[in-house]
Structure 1
Amino acid sequence: MATKLLSRYPWATSPFIVGAPMRVMSGPALALAVSGAGGLGFIGPGIKTQNTHVDLEETLTLIRKQQTQPSSFSSHTSSSSLLPVGVGFQLWGDDIEIATAAIQKFKPCAAWLFAPRDGPEEYDTWSRRIREASPQTQIWIQIGTLKEAKQLLQISEKPDIVVVQGAESGGHGRSEDGMGIMTLFPEIADAMESSQIPLLAAGGIADGRGVAAALCLGASGVAMGSRFLASKEARISKGYQDEVVRATDGATATKRTLLYNHLRGTFGWPAGYSPRTIINQSFVEHQAGTPFEDLKKRHDEALKLGDAGWGPEGRLATYAGASVGLIHGVPAAETIVQGVRKDALQRIKSLGSVGL
């Protein structure tokens, strides 16, 4: 299955490492850096769906600049009709007309769909429209429960790839019915075995150990989000990034809560989703019973502080996964991909030499 998957992205190498479409923070520079390192980078949803058009335009500009410096990756980009990056959409909040217009014009190699408002039938609508706009663009769908996996098997427009997201993940994921990737992935893999759809593992994976474990579970590759928050190409404030590097012990440093969404004025997520966040004073005071109006006022004042608005004594949202304790620096995305891949391969090779 992994070989089948890699054949769709000829510049990619094994193990297949994907940069998740983190909202706003995964921009063109990060997506291209991940793809250029032999993975597949995704551009995250923007504040408005129109931002996808802007980001894909910038991606095309960056690719043209890269083509002046010959490499195997630039050779592929010059000979392909598809952009070597994917785009992500949150279906509950994105506009299908604007999204498909951008896909038709720029033809990204993949579209990652997540969080429908009206159930799995919405995947059918989006998938059909995307395939009409760009038949070669692969459809990726992210799920986080066995129930969602079974629902995917019933829709008419089957995805090309399914991303199985464990509860350890950062950003928005399943809140009450989420499960860790170690048990979630095998159960979904068993349920979807007959579909022959490649499955990727996501959630809590930040180094070669996590990649090796995911491959042993049967994954055809992995998607990493939080690890790329601490990369040179991430579209992120320094205060936010410093906090991702500083935090340890994801079990106590992070929580799933809608508090930060509401402090930022973000409402409308479908029931069952909430974001994992590094907690700070906003959450501590919320737990202590401070009225929301007071928390909102203090949050808005912290916005004026710039990078100082983040951190343990800060108040601004710091969405990140439980893997924060494994993130210790801010290298280039290429260095992350190559280092994680090398570590994973070494660990898998060492398992073969262990006498059992």
Structure 2
Amino acid sequence: MADHTDHRATQEQLNERDILVITHQAYVNATQTLKATRDGKWQRVINWRGGMRLLTIIDEALCNAIEESQVTADNLSQAIGYIPHDLRTTYTTEVAALESLHQVMRHHLGISADSGGGARMAWDQGECPIGSVDLSALRAAMSKLPYDRLIGKADENDRRCMATRIDQTLAAAEAVLDRWAYFTLKGKLPTLNSSALLVPLDAPGPVVLDATAREDFIYELMGDRAVIIPTPPGVRDYSSVTLHVARITGIGKGTMVERAKTRFPRLIEDLTKRLTPDRSVFFCVHKAVEHELPDAGELPFANTVKAHWGAVDGSNEYANCDVAVIFGLPYRDRATFPNNVFFALPGAPRRRLAGPADMERTGEPARAHDS
């Protein structure tokens, strides 16, 4: 029984099937919504008329299996400031929740200044006292605002970029309000952070079709909950691939943004000399510099496609490209990523974060920190 966006099965039809074959993204969609609706979606995924399904086949790797949500004080303040009066009166509950969240950040910033910094749990009892708030309607209304004109411009790109940034801030705020969170400084920037394992560890009989499992440390962190089956020989044959590597420092987002104006022309010049016109080229770069790449048809190749880190997992759009150009590499945030992985995998938040003294005193936080 097929169930996808172009062919929806009824609940009765799904109830008759004891085995579920599902894509990674569909699995994520069932766990990403607010608590009020998440439980219902999740129950439809794991249950059939005979009880709990005993076999769930997940097609595609668990790329980005941990969802990270971060709200900065500046971004939240900007998002609140852009809410016009008519939307404030329509969405009073949602706006009040956002303003309360901003006050929480200011409160923890004051504590951090007095105590000399460090990370701490944002809520005393694990869950946000403000409560879960569905921001979907407010986000939809905000996405239609003429942001470019609000800052005295008339630029469609600026409008689109600002709308995306505001929506990402509201989405992160919604996630933080919906579950536990911790406060930390990112440099000097106050942030609230939360995370969740998008494919829960209590999934019934999951088999993940992931040919790259041996390279993904997420499975190792699951300990005895995950068993990696050796990949049969010949599944992936790279004998026809020629790898060209240029080694240089400064390939993270910040340096790539800073040096994009000089690096990209050199890249295009080198590729033009190296490749024949019949090649089909796929570019993967940082999102912040994707606009520096020429559009399709502007390069002397049969086809060119571009994408950015975080938007390539599980996609088949680039299957016909016979050249892949990886220009810049993504780096995890050292201030938050280890904490986010640690909190997401056990499935239950800690009342406070472990500091260096705790790690010396007990073994458990140290092992988690090393992970």
TM-score by length of 1: 0.25
Asked which structure has the greater CA Rg, the reply is 2
